[in-house]
Amino acid sequence: MGEKRIVYMDHSATTYTKKEVLEAMIPYYSEHFGNPSSIYRIAGDSKKAIDTARVQVAKALGSDPDEIYFTSGGSESDNWAIKGIAFANRKKGNHIITSAIEHHAVLHTCEYLEKEGFTVTYLPVDKYGIVDPADLEKAITEKTILISVMFANNEIGTIEPIAELGAVARNHKVYFHTDAVQVIGNVQVDVKAQNIDMLSLSAHKFYGPKGIGALYIKKGVKIDNLIHGGGQERKRRAGTENIAGIVGLGKAIELATADIDGHNRRIRGLRDRLLQGILARIPGTYLNGHREKRLPGNINISFEFIEGESILLWLDDEGICASTGSACTSGSLEPSHVLLATGLPVEISHGSLRLTLGDINTEEDVDFVLEVLPKVVSRLRDMSPLYRKNGKEGGCNVQ
Amino acid sequence: MYSDKVMDHFKNPRNVGEIENPDGIGEVGNPVCGDIMKIFLKIENNIITDAKFKTFGCGAAIASSSMATELVKGKTLEEAWEVSNKAVAEALEGLPPIKMHCSVLAEEGIHNAINDYRKKHGLELWVEKNPHAHDHSEDLCCDR
């Protein structure tokens, strides 16, 4: 058998590291290995590299460089923002507001804090997954110390009205954090204009390396440290810096934000052709999330009468890498909390598929998925007891 | 995540389809839980001469249905009744722990189909020796 064609459509899970990024990183594993905290000259190279990366990140976010703190990734940034604010401000109040569709790095952190005596409001979303700023306004109490709403959702791609939500938070003088892990390079970020006090990002979602991320913390925000130890990151985040990772993050964010509009036009073009093709070729198929207010590469669709994991297994067999909202593959049998929060019936949530396109994808990839996916769906429907070819028999509502 | 045997039965499922005028039908599961199995049996002289299935579910559910129908074909009803979920899982060279309920579903599907036949023939229904959580109350997926 020849080399099997691989079509990667899971860019929301992770991206490959771009060649230019990797090349920028390599010297910091070899000749420039000095510990930036050391006094001798070779350590100075490491220090300078970190400063450069900090400027690159700040430029992408519209912040000052000294408001950027490097972390190990999105999860650490989320944990730091939420726990750090909670513990530093608990005398002021113990109420946190977030949304029902957050990533587990936010949700599980909030659940942990509930055990520590904090109360958390999980804002609902509409059928597209959008948080209503009016709902946020109503949820704020005099005890509210933090609002954390994601910039865009990782499963259904919905982009939240972050500037409006941030404005509500600002009017009430409550700290506003956003998990922006999915948006770098896809949506223009401007922390000042968008009223953001803290923002989490992770390099491996925009063609940088894994294991490196950052937290933007607006000057003056009262926040505790999460990682205690040495005096790195201006005494805010201990641990010898992941210099190569930081350099990679800086290079990756510079590349990803150089031409967001151009990138979006290309990816959205591919995405829309794939989406329209799927909807036209496969009946009983529904788009989850918002038609326009969504990440350029995201498709999240539900297929009636079949289950998501079996779709993924067949796609994998054909060389197509995708994921499902029904968390079967990740060790849980629960359907996606995001799809359920949008009001999608449980039985349909089991049949969802997420395809996230990115820089690696081509028109040929779209053609290939359009050729394979209808066959996979029809093969599975043919063995589904819920499916009848001529007119559907009660759909998923049997029993 | 799955054994080669599971993948084989998932990709090349044996006995998919329906039997016209079956002697016994068993339907188990629930779309809310993400799996439904429908088992069809042809029974002649107390022997299962044919078995088919239709399944809505994950890879393990489809493979378990395929294997269970294979295991009961040619068996007497008494022998088929003894085909346990463990036997199905073992024949598949194991299932991940969170997918074991799929093999339970297959055993229950066979049992329901056998009892459907017994009911139609005015025979006493057999009772589950080791009643599984028929209502899926043990399943993670249905704890809402």
Assigned domain for A3 exists: no
Give the CATH number of the domain where residue A340 resides: 3.90.1150.10
Given a cut of 60, is residue A115 above it in pLDDT? yes
Same domain membership, residue A166 and residue A72: yes
Q: Is A305 on the interface with B (CB under 8 A)?
A: yes
Chain B residue numbers with beta carbons less than 8 Å from the beta carbon of A329 are 1
* Spatial separation of the C-alpha atoms in residues A398 and A393, rounded to whole Å: 8
A115-123 mean pLDDT: 98
Q: How far is A290 from chain B (nearest CA, A)?
A: 24
Q: Are residues A56 and A174 in the same domain?
A: yes
Q: What is the DSSP string of B63-76?
A: HHHHHHHHHHTT-B
A311/B34 Cα distance (integer angstroms):
13
d(CA A325, CA A308): 8
Letter for the amino acid at A167? A
A231, A256, A281 - which closes a domain: A256
> Chain A, 306-335: which have a CB under 8 Å from a chain B CB?
306-310, 313-314, 317, 326, 328-329, 331-335
Whether residue A87 sits in one domain with residue A211: yes
Mean pLDDT within A144-161? 98
List the single residue in B10, B35, B56 with the smallest CB-CB distance to A305: B56
Do A94 and A23 sit in the same domain of this protein?
yes
Of A307, A329, A399, the CB nearest to B57: A307
pLDDT at B132: 60
Residue A300 belongs to domain spanning: 260-394
Write down the ipTM of this complex.
0.89
Asked if residue A395 has pLDDT above 60, the reply is: no
Question: Distance from A267 to chain B by nearest Cα, in Å?
Answer: 31
What is residue A119's DSSP assignment? E
What is the pLDDT averaged over residues A355-363? 97
- Give the lowest-confidence range in A11-15, A360-364, A374-378, B135-139: B135-139
Q: Which residues of B touch A350 (CB under 8 A)?
A: 31, 34
Which amino acid, A289?
A: G
How many beta-carbon pairs below 8 A join chains A and B? 76
Would you say residue A348 lies in a domain? yes
For residue A22, the model assigns a pLDDT of 98
Chain B residues closer than 8 Å to A396 by CB: 31
| Helix A74-88 / helix A104-115 crossing angle, nearest 10 deg | 30
Least CA distance to A386: which residue of chain B? Answer: B56
Annotated active-site residue in A110, A321, A328, A396: A328
Q: Quick one: pLDDT at residue B131?
A: 64
For chain A, the domain total comes to 2
Q: How far is B119 from chain A (nearest CA, A)?
A: 21
CB atoms near residue B98 (< 10 Å) = 15
Q: Does A108 share its domain with A195? A: yes
Q: Which domains does chain B have, with CATH numbers?
A: 4-121 (3.90.1010.10)
- For A333, which of B17, B27, B141 is closest by C-beta distance? B141
Q: How much of chain B, in percent, has pLDDT values that exceed 90?
A: 83
- Are residues A291 and A172 both part of a single domain? no
Distance CA A296, CA A256 (A): 14
Interface of B with A in 35-74 (CB under 8 A): 35-38, 53-59, 61-62
Is residue A128 scored above 70 in pLDDT? Answer: yes
pTM: 0.92
Q: Which of A239, A256, A273 is the last residue of a domain?
A: A256
In this structure, is residue A6 part of a structural domain?
no
Phi-psi region of A305 (alpha: psi -120 to 50; beta: other; left: phi over 0): left
Does A137 lie in the same domain as A64? yes
Query: Is the same domain home to A153 and A284?
Result: no
State residue B139's pLDDT score.
Answer: 42
What pLDDT score was predicted for residue A2?
A: 55
Q: Which residue of A has its CA nearest to B35?
A: A307
Q: Please say if the pLDDT value at position A349 is more than 70.
A: yes
Who among A332, A335, A399 is closest to B30 (CB)? A399
Segment B36-59, tens digit of pLDDT: 999 999 999 999 999 999 999 999
- Chain B nearest-CA residue for A376: B11
Facing residues of A3 across strands?
none
- Tell me whether residue A110 is one of the annotated catalytic residues: no
Q: Are A161 and A131 in contact (CB under 8 A)?
A: yes
Query: Mean pLDDT over residues A169-183, rounded?
Result: 98
Q: Are A243 and A50 in contact (CB under 8 A)?
A: yes
Q: Is residue A333 pLDDT above 90, yes or no?
A: no
Task: Sort out which chain B residues have CB atoms less than 8 A from A393's CB and list them.
Answer: none
Do A270 and A232 lie in one domain? The reply is no
Mean pLDDT for chain A overall = 94
Residues A234 and A326 in one domain: no
| Helix or strand holding residue A321 (H, E) | strand A320-321
Q: Which residue has the higher pLDDT, B105 or A325?
A: B105
User: Which chain B residues have a beta carbon less than 8 Å from that of A399?
Assistant: 30-31
In this complex, do B61 and A399 lie within 8 Å of one another by their Cβ atoms?
no
Q: Which residues of B touch A317 (CB under 8 A)?
A: 11
Average pLDDT over residues A243-254: 98
Instruction: Say what the pLDDT of residue B33 is.
Output: 79
Give residue for tokens 């020796």. Answer: B129
CATH number at residue A90: 3.40.640.10
One domain, residues A85 and A195: yes
- Of A32-41, A221-230, B48-57, B68-77, which gets the smallest average pLDDT? A32-41
Q: What was the pLDDT predicted at A334?
A: 76
* Alpha helices by DSSP H, chain A: 19-25, 41-61, 74-88, 104-115, 133-139, 162-171, 232-235, 243-256, 260-281, 308-317, 337-341, 346-349, 363-382
CA A240 to chain B, closest CA, distance in angstroms equals: 36
Mutate: best of A309, A323, A386, partner B, most B CBs <10 A: A309
Q: What is the model's pLDDT at position B20?
A: 95
Q: What is the full DSSP assignment across A156-179?
A: T-BBP-HHHHHHHHHHTT-EEEEE
**At A106, is the secondary structure helix, strand, or coil?**
helix
Q: Is the pLDDT of residue B124 over 60?
A: yes
Kindly state the tokens that stand for B142. 């249905």
8-state DSSP, A229: S
Q: What is the mean pLDDT of residues A305-329?
A: 85
Percent of chain A with pLDDT over 90: 88
User: Does A293 fall in a domain?
Assistant: yes
Q: How far is A309 from chain B (nearest CA, A)?
A: 5
In the sheet that holds B24-30, the strands lie side by side as B24-30, B35-44, B47-56
A235 in any annotated domain: yes
pLDDT over 80 at A305, yes or no: yes
